Amino acid sequence: MAKKKFICKVCGYVHEGDAAPEKCPVCNAPASEFVEQKPKGLFSDVNSNAYIILYSVVMVVLVAALLAVASFSLQDRQNANILNEKQQQIVKALGEDPMTVIFGDVIAEAQILDADGKPVAGKSEADVFAALQDMRSTLDAGEYPIFKANNGCVVIPVYGAGLWDAIWGYIALEPDLNTVKGIVIDHKGETPGLGAEIASAPHQALYVGKTIFDNDGKF
């Protein structure tokens, strides 16, 4: 540890040590005539405003850099979790348990249809899931993702506006493309106990068996 410096006010003698000498060896001035020489510099005093501000800035930059690195390194895992969540919701819409049934075992094909109901060429399953990331833009572009199950059912992603924010989900139709086999709905900011009930299993069960069109073909 660096020693302190004490200066004699009478003769200017500089003493290095933990405390001022009892008397100056040059002029015999008592210890009371010595003053401690403080280090000079903008950041020499750890209690100064300048030091505190600099320390805060350095820490903020350092923490931000660490968070950015962590976020970047975990990006693949985050994307995998998002994909897995969507696949589980699709499986659930088909009335299956996503904890025991694998997406690939029940879904035969993922497609993007145009406004005429025809498959858009060159779209892979990854493209379909990418389209789900921003359903508003996907629908505005006239593209409609669907998932065809091995049993002939079709799962259609749905998206819209709730009372407070966006709502979204998946509706599974029987092979007749008219009868609801299952539905999964979620939301961003609906009121608990009211609008948020759309995400509850009892509410979603109300749609099972319902038809999109009546016997006369009316919606």
Q: Could you report the per-residue pLDDT of 5-45, keeping only the tens digit for each?
A: 889 999 989 998 888 899 999 999 999 999 988 766 666 66
Backbone angles phi, psi at 122, to 5 degrees: 80, 15
* Residue 8 shares a structural domain with residue 115: no
Whether the predicted pLDDT of 146 surpasses 70: yes
* Residue 150 shares a structural domain with residue 90: yes
Q: Give the tokens for residue 121.
A: 């060429």
* Residue 193 shares a structural domain with residue 144: yes
pLDDT of amino acid 147: 94
Q: Give the tokens for residue 170.
A: 């998946």
- Asked whether residue 172 is domain-assigned, the answer is yes
* Residue 33 shares a structural domain with residue 80: no
- Asked whether residue 188 is domain-assigned, the answer is yes
CATH classification of the domain holding 29: 2.20.28.10
Burial environment of residue 117 by CB neighbours within 10 A (0 to 12, 13 to 18, 19 or more): exposed
Handedness of CA 108, 112, 118, 122 (dihedral sign): negative
* Residue 82 shares a structural domain with residue 19: no
- Asked whether residue 218 is domain-assigned, the answer is no
What's the structural domain count of the chain?
Answer: 2
- Asked whether residue 56 is domain-assigned, the answer is no
* Residue 111 shares a structural domain with residue 187: yes
Q: State the CB neighbour count (10 A cutoff) for residue 167.
A: 21
- Asked whether residue 150 is domain-assigned, the answer is yes
Which domain, by its residues, includes 25?
Answer: 1-37
Q: Could you report the per-residue pLDDT of 57-98, keeping only the tens digit for each?
A: 999 999 999 999 988 888 888 888 888 899 999 999 999 998
- Asked whether residue 216 is domain-assigned, the answer is no
- Asked whether residue 53 is domain-assigned, the answer is no
- Asked whether residue 145 is domain-assigned, the answer is yes
Whether the predicted pLDDT of 47 surpasses 80: no
